[in-house]
Chain A
Amino acid sequence: MSSAVVISAVVLQMWCVAGLLAMAALAIALSRSHRATAVVYGATLAICVAALFGSLRWLVGDIANSSDVILPIGLPWLGAHFRLDPLAAFFLVVVNLGGAAASLYGLGYGHHDPAPHRVLAFFPAFLAGMNLVVLADDAFCYLLCWEFMSLVSWALVMAHHREPGNARAGYVYLVMASFGTLALLLAFGLLAGPAGDYGFAAIRAAQHTPYVAALVLILMLLGAGSKAGLVPLHVWLPLAHPAAPSHVSALMSGVMTKVAIYGFIRVVFDLLGQPTWSASVIVLFLGGITAVMGILYAMMEKDLKRLLAYSTIENVGIIFVSLGLALAFQANGLKLPAALAFTAALFHVLNHSFFKSLLFFGAGAVLTSTGERDMDKLGGLIHRMPLTSFVFLVGCVAISALPPFNGFVSEWLIFQAVLQSPQLPQWALKIMVPAVGALLALAAALAAACFVKAFGITFLGRPRSEAAETAQEVDKYSLSAMFILAALCLLAGILPGLVIDALSPITTEILGGRMPIQANEPWLSIVPIAESRSSYNGLLVLVFITISASLAVYFIHRFASHALRRGPAWGCGFSDPTPAAQYSGASFAQPIRRVFGTLVFRARDHVEMPAPGDIRPARLRIELHDLIWEGIYAPLAGAVGFSADRLNRLQFLTIRRYLSLVFATLVTLLLVLAIWS
């Protein structure tokens, strides 16, 4: 009986994928119809919900073994393997939840799209691609699906290809995606070894030498890391994610980066076997740098969607720090702390998919009703769009890791894992982990600053443009998608024990250890190690805050004055009549720019003061340098261009010269062979 159920689980997922692909084909057929938007997003929503419940039931059910299916396509001697195990099931939940929310949002948002047929066909195909990557169980299939996902998402980035900057974004994305796939190709080549068995089961069973393991780790950091947005491979992400339509941006930021993280986990934790502690050092280091750099970039940004994209980089950094901790503990055989760190990483994956999708939806709502992404042209939207601003505020609080929302729980778990580091025997790790913990705290505090800026400049204050003054609330579909995600943010924050228990089959599968069962704790607390060590209860925190706030409100309204008068803002008696005199995004970021930016961005403020008597206004110009782009990518692009120019001459040779070139090459190769042996 149970085996029939198990097999139907993976088959159900494959049918959902087939349904999504069919939707893509249908979208092409319907592309000229007016009803295409409603039909395609409606059907995608239904399929994603089905796939979501299928994988969720499988993850929280008692079925602990994995199930697989082999399709007779792909490599002739291998076939295409697909498999559902707890890790894959969890990421399928993330993918399909994001997909369902984006489809629901798309039902409303799609109507505002000037060219819906450029999105409609690719949207379900993109979801199908991400589902397939998670399900794939052999290297060939995995790479094929990965490339499919990259290409389709590229098409979505290019949906509004005539807008300035989008073509460049698509080009940079394409180059970086190809580079990433190249790294993955080499990694799987190394894993399969000379025998060339590409099935994951065979790779898992094989013994890998330390050199191969180290090389594969670096290649995975390059390949999966570039897709996830690890610094310094992140350059495409803030260009490409905002360029896509907002519900696709949400999918790319909230979900596709997670699929890349899935790839990293699958290879480094699952296929490579027992890790070495030195592997964790590099992951921790890159994660810490990524978290801080990502949020500093976000702080400097004035485009709302780009700010969100940079904050995705920060969150990917946090997840990688947590994975690095899990590697360090696992390498030393400390099962419980390893399970704690790994659970924290997965929890943060889930949380980030919730609140980042929510925030991108909110940015999309602002974009549809004002046509603006530039925060310095917005403001005061809390009066015009009260519901959107409320859910956006929930997203901001959640992503800033503030209790009682979900972002805090995962960061708290990561800090608890950091506090376990004295158990590690290696001195390098002992000293490094507290420093990385301090970086994480810095990133969390900067994230709060960044989202005070994002919400404060966009939604509060006075409107800075006419578009912001006349904005309208968005449609019901978009709002319901956002409200569902906001509710999930709160639920995961106050009932974290349920999530942790649901994640335990994964840690058991991957690490061979698990966190204590949280369902048994009184009052729904979470206790990672022991109650005397640390515990947290989101529900009680929420209840306490509600009670004490209600008490305060009650007593104030019972005993204090009720009088309230509206008047002009006081501002220390200094009234500033134009909204332009408010703090803008750049001025809000000024203190942090002065403290961190002078080092990280070589930031400088230039004041251009007109001569006395000149009635020109004085100007403040901010100079920022993206040192990673200028230091790595610009020289690289220059070198490629230069050598391409030089090699171009080869294109215009006579046939005699080509023949002699061929001959010379042949002789050289034969000589090399002769000398080599």
Chain B
Amino acid sequence: MVVISDILVQGVQMLLVLLLAPLLTGFVRKIKARLVRRQGASVFQPYRDLLRLLRKEVVLADNASWLFRVTPYITFAAIWVAAALVPTFATGLLFNWTADLIAIVALLGSARFFLALAGMDVGTSFGGIGSSREVMIAALAEPAMLLFVFCMALVAGSTQLSTVANFMASSYVGLRVSLGMAMVALVMVALAENGRIPVDNPATHLELTMVHEAMVLEYSGRHLAMIEFGAFLKLLLYISLIGCVFVPWKIALFGTGPLSYAVGAGIYLVKLAVAGFLLALFETATAKMRVFRVPQFLGAALMLGLLGTLLLFVSRSF
């Protein structure tokens, strides 16, 4: 009986991330439009886009292989599993111990690996340019991400996200300079990983500036829908991650009952809205940088992570 309810809560979490992800992207787009005084599409537009894509036929390039056709499902599944393992409204769900943060990052790496391969499958230059830039950005983002993990593990003594969230929610942790640095580093990595401004522009189709969009250029119909959905989920995942590590207020403990889950879910929605608003504000206020400025951007994230770690060693306040 207990196991069934545990599985149920885990299932709710999986469905929740799935249902919320397009809404978040729609919300960010709406805010961005409003900030530049446009009316903007409805916040539900991403759902309509997905449904429309699902109804359209797939136009497949002549020499596309089986890998091209299975990649959308593999990437979607990998990102979905990763997103389901990040605490959203409650910590300590049944399968949270399946993978810690390092494994979650690696799952996203698997998704990117297959997407980059699919970009090269058809044999057009655009796919190649997108894939090669995507793997470069990943190569720079991963060390920074690891240093963030290191900094966090130093404070909380764990890489298990539920443990970290519980620890951060407890009163032992005050404001710390190194945590601030780690948060900035994580936000920078998140911007790069999600292909947001200033690293990449999710709205552009100007050939020479795009990275992620160039990689998936040959996709259409239901395949494209899966890939777009994966991208929405990834944005939600990173915002949930930042939320559960740095603002874990009111996140429900496992097994505390439906009421506290509901409170947790409500607060989670507020957190998503605030983060989405901040993201839109930042993207509106910033310009996209040249591709070869990205190493400096992510190098700064790496340095912040390293400095945060060193500060923790020096301060010895734990």
Give the contacting residue for B124; candidates A379, A525, A565, A582; CB below 8 A: A582
Residue of A nearest to B116 (CB): A452
> How many whole Å from A134's CB to the nearest CB in chain B?
32
State which of A25-33, A272-280, A343-351, A412-420 sits at the interface with chain B. Answer: A412-420
Does B306 lie at the interface of the complex (its beta carbon under 8 Å from any beta carbon of A)? Answer: yes
Is the CB–CB distance between B139 and A449 below 8 Å? yes
Complex Cα spacing A486 to B260, Å: 46
Is the CB–CB distance between B54 and A534 below 8 Å? no
Interface of chain B residues 89 through 148 with chain A (CB within 8 A): 95, 97-100, 102-103, 106-107, 109-110, 112-113, 116-117, 119-129, 131-133, 135-136, 138-147
> How many whole Å from B205's CB to the nearest CB in chain A?
8
Contacts between the two chains (Cβ within 8 Å), count: 278
**A536 in contact with B57 given A408-B106, A439-B143, A592-B136 (CB within 8 Å):** no
State which of B26-34, B75-83, B251-259 sits at the interface with chain A. Answer: B75-83
Complex Cα spacing A400 to B125, Å: 24
Residue of A nearest to B54 (CB): A560
Is the CB–CB distance between A566 and B62 below 8 Å? yes
1/0 contact string of B63-89 vs chain A (CB within 8 Å):
101110000011011101100100000
Give the contacting residue for A572; candidates B110, B217, B310; CB below 8 A: B217
Is the CB–CB distance between B125 and A583 below 8 Å? yes
Residues on A with C-beta less than 8 A from B132 are 583, 587-592
> How many whole Å from A35's CB to the nearest CB in chain B?
39
Is the CB–CB distance between B58 and A533 below 8 Å? no
**A448 in contact with B135 given A434-B309, A460-B121, A582-B124 (CB within 8 Å):** yes
**A583 in contact with B120 given A449-B139, A556-B226, A567-B60 (CB within 8 Å):** yes
Is the CB–CB distance between B73 and A534 below 8 Å? no
Does B159 lie at the interface of the complex (its beta carbon under 8 Å from any beta carbon of A)? Answer: yes
Residues on A with C-beta less than 8 A from B205 are 572
Does B241 lie at the interface of the complex (its beta carbon under 8 Å from any beta carbon of A)? Answer: no
Complex Cα spacing A535 to B98, Å: 7
Complex Cα spacing A370 to B310, Å: 53
Does B313 lie at the interface of the complex (its beta carbon under 8 Å from any beta carbon of A)? Answer: yes
**A579 in contact with B67 given A419-B159, A533-B157, A560-B55 (CB within 8 Å):** no
Complex Cα spacing A579 to B120, Å: 12
Is the CB–CB distance between B59 and A567 below 8 Å? yes
> How many whole Å from B257's CB to the nearest CB in chain A?
22
Is the CB–CB distance between B163 and A533 below 8 Å? yes
Residues on A with C-beta less than 8 A from B306 are 434-435, 438
Complex Cα spacing A541 to B207, Å: 36
The tally of residues in A whose CB lies under 8 Å from a CB in B reads 87
Residues on A with C-beta less than 8 A from B146 are 415, 437-438, 440-441
Is the CB–CB distance between B109 and A402 below 8 Å? yes
Complex Cα spacing A212 to B226, Å: 62
Complex Cα spacing A460 to B65, Å: 8
Is the CB–CB distance between A442 and B57 below 8 Å? no
Is the CB–CB distance between A565 and B60 below 8 Å? yes
Complex Cα spacing A556 to B112, Å: 22
Residues on A with C-beta less than 8 A from B310 are 431
Give the contacting residue for A437; candidates B56, B150, B225; CB below 8 A: B150
> How many whole Å from B248's CB to the nearest CB in chain A?
16
Residues on A with C-beta less than 8 A from B218 are 569-571
> How many whole Å from A410's CB to the nearest CB in chain B?
12
Is the CB–CB distance between A534 and B159 below 8 Å? yes
Residues on A with C-beta less than 8 A from B67 are 382, 393, 460
Residue of A nearest to B295 (CB): A595
Is the CB–CB distance between A567 and B61 below 8 Å? yes
**A591 in contact with B291 given A434-B306, A461-B120 (CB within 8 Å):** yes
Does B209 lie at the interface of the complex (its beta carbon under 8 Å from any beta carbon of A)? Answer: no
Complex Cα spacing A570 to B158, Å: 47
Give the contacting residue for A533; candidates B76, B160, B226; CB below 8 A: B160
Interface of chain A residues 417 through 452 with chain B (CB within 8 A): 418-419, 422, 427, 430-431, 434-435, 437-442, 444-446, 448-449, 452
State which of A49-57, A124-132, A201-209, A546-554 sits at the interface with chain B. Answer: A546-554
Give the contacting residue for B65; candidates A383, A403, A565; CB below 8 A: A383
Residues on B with C-beta less than 8 A from A572 are 126, 205, 207, 217
Complex Cα spacing A594 to B127, Å: 19
Complex Cα spacing A441 to B205, Å: 32
Residue of A nearest to B229 (CB): A552
Residue of A nearest to B226 (CB): A552
Is the CB–CB distance between A569 and B145 below 8 Å? no
Does B222 lie at the interface of the complex (its beta carbon under 8 Å from any beta carbon of A)? Answer: yes
Is the CB–CB distance between A438 and B143 below 8 Å? yes
Complex Cα spacing A539 to B158, Å: 22
Residues on B with C-beta less than 8 A from A452 are 113, 116-117, 120, 131, 135
Q: Chain B, interface size: which category?
A: 35 or more
Residues on B with C-beta less than 8 A from A535 are 97-98, 100, 160
Residues on B with C-beta less than 8 A from A416 are 159
Is the CB–CB distance between A536 and B120 below 8 Å? no
Is the CB–CB distance between A403 and B57 below 8 Å? no
Does A652 lie at the interface of the complex (its beta carbon under 8 Å from any beta carbon of B)? Answer: no
Residues on B with C-beta less than 8 A from A383 are 63, 65
Residues on B with C-beta less than 8 A from A434 are 147, 150, 306, 309
Does A544 lie at the interface of the complex (its beta carbon under 8 Å from any beta carbon of B)? Answer: yes
Does A613 lie at the interface of the complex (its beta carbon under 8 Å from any beta carbon of B)? Answer: no
Interface of chain A residues 500 through 551 with chain B (CB within 8 A): 525, 531-537, 540-541, 544-546, 548-549
Is the CB–CB distance between B106 and A442 below 8 Å? no
Is the CB–CB distance between B54 and A561 below 8 Å? yes
Residues on A with C-beta less than 8 A from B149 are 415, 419
Complex Cα spacing A393 to B55, Å: 32
Is the CB–CB distance between A587 and B128 below 8 Å? yes
Is the CB–CB distance between A400 and B81 below 8 Å? no
Residue of B nearest to A561 (CB): B55
Complex Cα spacing A609 to B84, Å: 53
> How many whole Å from A189's CB to the nearest CB in chain B?
42
Does B44 lie at the interface of the complex (its beta carbon under 8 Å from any beta carbon of A)? Answer: no
Does B273 lie at the interface of the complex (its beta carbon under 8 Å from any beta carbon of A)? Answer: no
Is the CB–CB distance between A430 and B313 below 8 Å? yes
Does A401 lie at the interface of the complex (its beta carbon under 8 Å from any beta carbon of B)? Answer: yes
> How many whole Å from B184's CB to the nearest CB in chain A?
17
Residues on B with C-beta less than 8 A from A582 are 123-125, 128
> How many whole Å from A180's CB to the nearest CB in chain B?
32
Give the contacting residue for A457; candidates B80, B120, B226; CB below 8 A: B120
Does A663 lie at the interface of the complex (its beta carbon under 8 Å from any beta carbon of B)? Answer: no
Interface of chain A residues 367 through 418 with chain B (CB within 8 A): 379-380, 382-383, 386, 393, 397, 400-403, 408, 412, 415-416, 418
Is the CB–CB distance between A569 and B77 below 8 Å? no
Complex Cα spacing A400 to B76, Å: 19
Residues on B with C-beta less than 8 A from A581 are 125
Complex Cα spacing A441 to B141, Å: 9
Complex Cα spacing A444 to B141, Å: 11
Does A194 lie at the interface of the complex (its beta carbon under 8 Å from any beta carbon of B)? Answer: no
Complex Cα spacing A408 to B106, Å: 8
Complex Cα spacing A571 to B140, Å: 27
Residues on A with C-beta less than 8 A from B120 are 452, 456-457, 460-461, 583, 588
Complex Cα spacing A440 to B106, Å: 14
Does A564 lie at the interface of the complex (its beta carbon under 8 Å from any beta carbon of B)? Answer: yes
1/0 contact string of A50-78 vs chain B (CB within 8 Å):
00000000000000000000000000000
A-B contact pairs, 5 of them (CB 8 A): A434-B150, A446-B139, A456-B120, A534-B158, A571-B122
Query: 5 closest Cβ contacts across the A-B interface?
Result: A583-B128, A563-B57, A461-B123, A456-B120, A549-B77
For the A-B complex with A434-B306, A441-B143, A588-B131 known, give 4 more contacts whose Cβ atoms are closer than 8 Å.
A402-B110, A449-B135, A565-B57, A565-B60
